[in-house]
Amino acid sequence: MLIELLLDKGPLLEPTRLDLKSVDEFLESQKITECNLVLGRNRIVHPHHKNLLETQICESISNEVHVINATFPRPNLESQYPKRYTEVVNDLNSYGFTLALMKRAHMTYAYGNAGGISIHLLTNSPVTVVGPMNWVGSMKYSYSGKTLFSARRSVGIETHHSSSGIRKIQLIKSLLRITWDYLNYCQRLIRQLGRE
């Protein structure tokens, strides 16, 4: 349903003026003019999916771009990155605030196997999905041959994928799962065409 709506209506989520104002005040108080946003995964429920996107943090900082990390719960990486790095404190970290940060960021890096990725992709903000895309890139969860990832691209929203910093075994498993889903999708399509 989200894919159908995105293809029909375009981006579905926009921050409110109040959230944009809060983010602008936050950025001004931190003296941040240009930034990239990081939305990693910092939960122990599925430790194999925990990813703080440190490669993307390091690349942004080395390119002299400030990084704002809105990963929830906070990863507490400030001591590792003393310059050009800010974490959003938990009491500010509402999704409206995150939407506004996405709107203001040059690029948002979001972990592909985190629960929020499908919601992040409903924005008009530039997003790079990092790592496996089992839900948003799978034909198993597609609509009219489009995944949520490809639908975003179809409507002209800046959308990228990166495997930088992801363990190779995770990528192999994800690619095998996506390939299997695609083969099943093709098989269903062939059966359907055979009935017509």
Domain ranges of the chain: 2-195
d(CA 25, CA 132): 34
CATH code assigned to 2-195: 3.40.50
Higher pLDDT, 192 or 159: 159
- What mean pLDDT is reported for the chain? 91
179: pLDDT strictly greater than 80:
no
Find the mean pLDDT for residues 62-85: 95
User: How far lies 3's CA from each of 7, 40, 99, 122, 123, in Å?
Assistant: 6, 23, 19, 9, 12
pLDDT digits (tens, 9 = 90+) for 34-52: 999 999 999 877 777 788 9
Instruction: Say whether 108 sits in a helix, a strand or coil.
Output: strand
pLDDT digits (tens, 9 = 90+) for 105-158: 999 999 998 889 999 999 999 999 999 888 899 888 999 999 999 999 999 999
Rounded (5°) CA angle 113-160-107: 95
pTM above threshold 0.85: yes
